[in-house]
Amino acid sequence: MLAHSDWKFDEVFEGTTEDGKTITMDGNSAHVHGASPMQAVLMALCSCTSVDVVNILKKKRQDLTALRVTAHATQADAPPRVFTHIRLIYAVHGKLSRKAVEDAVSLSKNKYCSVSKMLEKAMTIEYDIVYPDGEPEA
């Protein structure tokens, strides 16, 4: 895997993957031109675990209609402002088995999500599962 970052102007950078996918990042505190690099890490974590959960629930033949994973992160007060704690909130929609959802989230966290596994070496990652459409069957 290969990626690079090009300085565009001020504190704005464009990250590019080896196959040409791009993301704009802005190191300025206002983040006018893109996400900060630390925000991009959180987005990567949310996306990584989402891929796992969706795929696992599909394999379990669950009727998933929507999924939003939100990361609430705490950073150190002084540089380097590393994350010290992350709480993931999985908002799961559809006609689902609670056990299937809990198993999918657990498998993602403990086995499949490489972003989560890397970040866990430096901090605690906890999670909650919520069902905005109402509680699923047991």
Q: Are residues 42 and 105 in the same domain?
A: yes
Q: How confident is the model at residue 138 (pLDDT cuts 50, 70, 90)?
A: low
Q: Tell me the per-residue pLDDT of 23-51, one tens digit each, with 9 for 90 and over.
A: 999 999 888 999 999 999 999 999 999 99
Q: Are residues 47 and 105 in the same domain?
A: yes
Give me the mean pLDDT over the 9-34 stretch: 95
CATH number, residue 101? 3.30.300.20
What's this model's pTM, rounded to 2 decimal places? Answer: 0.94
Q: Tell me the per-residue pLDDT of 85-119, one tens digit each, with 9 for 90 and over.
A: 999 999 999 999 999 999 999 999 999 999 999 99
- The DSSP result for 7-55, as a single string, is EEETTEEEEEETTS-EEEEE-STT--SSB-HHHHHHHHHHHHHHHHHHH
- Whole-number pLDDT of residue 29: 85
Question: Residue for token digits 């970040």?
Answer: 119
Q: Which two tokens stand for residue 44?
A: 């990567």
Domain of 27, in residue numbers: 1-35
Q: Are residues 42 and 17 in the same domain?
A: no
Residue 114 lies in a domain: yes
Q: Domains in the chain: how many in total?
A: 2
Residue 136 lies in a domain: no
